[in-house]
Structure 1
Amino acid sequence: MKILVYGAGVLGSLYAARLHDAGHDVSLLARGDRLTSLRERGVLLAENDSKKITQVPVPAVESPAGKYDLILVFVRSHQVETVLEQLVGNDGDVLFLVNWAGGPEPLAAAIGRERVLLGFGNQGGTMDGDIVRYGRRTLLTRLVSMPIGELDGQTTPRVQRILQMLRSAGFTAKAEPRMDAWLKTHAAFEVPLAQAVHTAGGPDALASDRGALRGMIGLIRQNLEALPTRPVPRAFSAVRVLPDGVLVALFRLLLRSTAAAPLGTTSAAASGELELLTEQVGGFARGR
């Protein structure tokens, strides 16, 4: 299977490198200085703050032109429209591993419903110049599976092939029959959290502000109540009923952990994604 990873940020670079190390025929799409760096040095990986840097010679391309069996899309949600325009002429299956609460219809309308799969990457990290710094794999990260699924919820042979491919590269992955609901639930949770972090001035500052945490929890509950279907995974339903004090304590643990580092990102790309996700969540919250 010939694979293209579209997007050379943290996740795209990490997944491309792991797939390459596992022996898969994979190329990584990038542009500008990032493309130059990848062609000269490959993907550079380091665990957290480690000084040990691993160099993975993933082939880098600047266009999705060519024949690919599978395209993994790792971009910010507000960049999806541009990606769709470039994938119209490609015949490969497209797995969107993107923060996306706008439903599958815009994706299917642009490139064909039969080509679209939905998913969400379960690995985190940050860019340190050209170095991808990723978190250490823990028991928790091994237990939290990367969900992927067909639009109709069936576990098809192509889903099975993709799962096998991801697992061969060391990723924990599973078939999710309600992937659209999963993405909407994730956004219902993430948007108030990201907005509260931004307003407070960072994860640590938010963790210390009990009033802001209670306000954020209230917004998350409103979003979950407005979902057109029940939350997926079901565990998110607990946010509706757990006492504020318990949720405040849990969010404080989250915000003071390494998992909260990406929430402090204030780049234009992160802001653009949050703006679109806010609009998408607002759409189903208004009953659209």
Structure 2
Amino acid sequence: MNILIYGAGVLGSHLAHELVRGGNHVTMLARGQRLKELRSNGSVLRHYFQFRTTVDKVNVISELRPEDVYDLIFVVMKYPHFQAVLPALAANHSRHIVIVGNNASPHEMRDYLQANSPVQKKIAFAFIAGAGWKEKGRVVSIHGPKGQMTIGGLGEELDWRAVIDQAFNEVKFTLSYYSDMEEWLKSHFILILPLNSIAAVYDGDYRKAAKDRKLLNQVMDALDEGHQVLEKLGYTVTPEFQKDLPRRKRKLFYMGLKLMLTTSIGKNMLSDKAVSQDEMDALRLAFNELKIKAGIPTPNWDRVVSYSSVAN
């Protein structure tokens, strides 16, 4: 398949690598220094836990023109950056788009693309589990033995799922489909905001944080308050087991948090290698809007997420 990866950061580079190795013709859209690196050296990817480096030769472009038609476009970037690329995506004549990443406004994005496109667009939303960082000339990617992508529509089954499945037919990625990705995405950023605020409490010393029983209990209470906001607004916490963590499986969750804070993979997933500060700020503002609509107090949430904003 002819696929465009719009965004050449950590997750976009990992996705491009797997799609290339799966037999697809992959183009990456990049700008600035990253564009020069890709054109000069290809996509150099250091697989952190696999102790190996790969190099993939991909076609590289710096802009998406209306007439550049792809079978499938994956837009992979941080939530605050999506808005700037919507006009180019809308003007383009490709019909199948997957928007990948944390997202607090999927309905607005879908509606904009469909209302401003010259062709009928099919749009899905997705999230890739992973983290990493850019180094000079390469990307370091933190991922498991197989990639994991959660993907779906907004309250409906994807009638074009076969297009996505074809792209991943020979790819080392596990796809988990959900019919309502808005609920999944909202549940996800409500999970990560309290967790990713922990780093600021002890200036990045996760081992000290792991010993702070009061802090970890406050994080769990904050998460439960976030779930209550969603439920008050009529959303279903997705996946369902997530709401049980701070309510019915509190001891297990507590031990899991302590373990996460003392392992390298946990620290990477709770640092700006997974969620940048500007993305956290944007998601925090999105939650505040939800909280105002719900009209319920969230004292633990307010306290916990304030740690990262104070540190910033």
Fold-level similarity (TM above 0.5): yes
2:3–2:25 contact (8 Å) kept in structure 1: yes
Cα contact 1:148–1:159 (8 A) shared by 2:
no
Structure 1 residue 282, shift from structure 2 partner: 2.0
Partner residue, 1:116? 123
Cα distance in 2 between the residues matched to 1:147 and 1:50: 22
Letter in 2 for 1:99: N
Q: 1:9 to 1:152 in 2, by over 3 A?
A: same
Match of 1:48 in 2: 48
Question: Does the 8 Å contact 1:10/1:125 carry over to 2?
Answer: yes
Q: Residue 214 of structure 1 contacts residue 248 of structure 1 at CA under 8 Å; is this kept in 2?
A: yes
- How far, CA to CA, are the matches of 2:126 and 2:169 in structure 1? 15
* Alignment deviations for residues 43-63 of structure 1 (CA, whole Å, 9 cap, x no partner): 112221776422111111111
- How far did 1:130 drift? 3.0
Query: Which of these residues, 97, 101, 109, is aligned with residue 100 of structure 2?
Result: 97
Give the TM-score normalised by the residue count of structure 2: 0.82
Which residue, 75, 85, 107 being the options, matches 1:83? 85
| 2:252 aligns with one of 230, 246, 251 | 246
In the other structure, the counterpart of 1:206 is 209
Letter in 2 for 1:176: Y
* SS of 2:151 mapped into structure 1: strand
Match of 1:153 among 153, 156, 174: 156
Contact 1:146/1:171, CA 8 A, preserved across alignment: yes
Identity in percent: 25
- Listed as ranges, the gaps of 5+ residues in structure 1 are none
Further displaced range: 232-241 or 256-265? 256-265
Q: Distance in 1 between matches of 2:51 and 2:247?
A: 45
Residue type of the alignment partner of 2:218: G
Shift of the 5–204 alpha-carbon distance from structure 1 to 2, 3 Å rule, reads farther
CA spacing shift, 1:58–1:283, aligned 2, 3 Å:
same
| Greater shift in the superposed pair: 89-98 or 112-121 | 112-121
Length, aligned pairs only: 281
Alpha-carbon distance in structure 2 between the residues aligned to 1:191 and 1:148: 21
Using the TM superposition, give the Cα deviation of residue 182 of structure 1 relative to its aligned residue in structure 2, in angstroms.
Answer: 0.5
Q: Which one of the candidate residues 207, 212, 226 is aligned to 2:229?
A: 226
Aligned: 1:277 with 2:277: no
From 215, 219, 237, give the equivalent of 1:216: 219
CA contact (8 A) 2:42 2:57 kept: yes
Shift of residue 107 of structure 1?
0.3
Match of 1:25 in 2: 25
What's 1:38 paired with? 38
Give the distance between the partners of 2:152 and 2:102, measured in 1 at CA: 15
> What is the alpha-carbon distance in structure 1 between the residues aligned to residue 261 and residue 6 of structure 2?
30
* In structure 1, distance between residues paired with 2:215 and 2:169: 39
Contact 2:130-2:269 within 8 A present in 1 as well: no
| Runs of 5+ consecutive residues of structure 2 not aligned to the other structure | 116-120, 295-312
Deviates more, 1:113-122 or 1:219-228: 113-122
Structure 1 pair 167/285, CA: closer, same or farther in 2 (3 Å)?
Answer: farther
Aligned Cα root-mean-square deviation (Å): 2.3
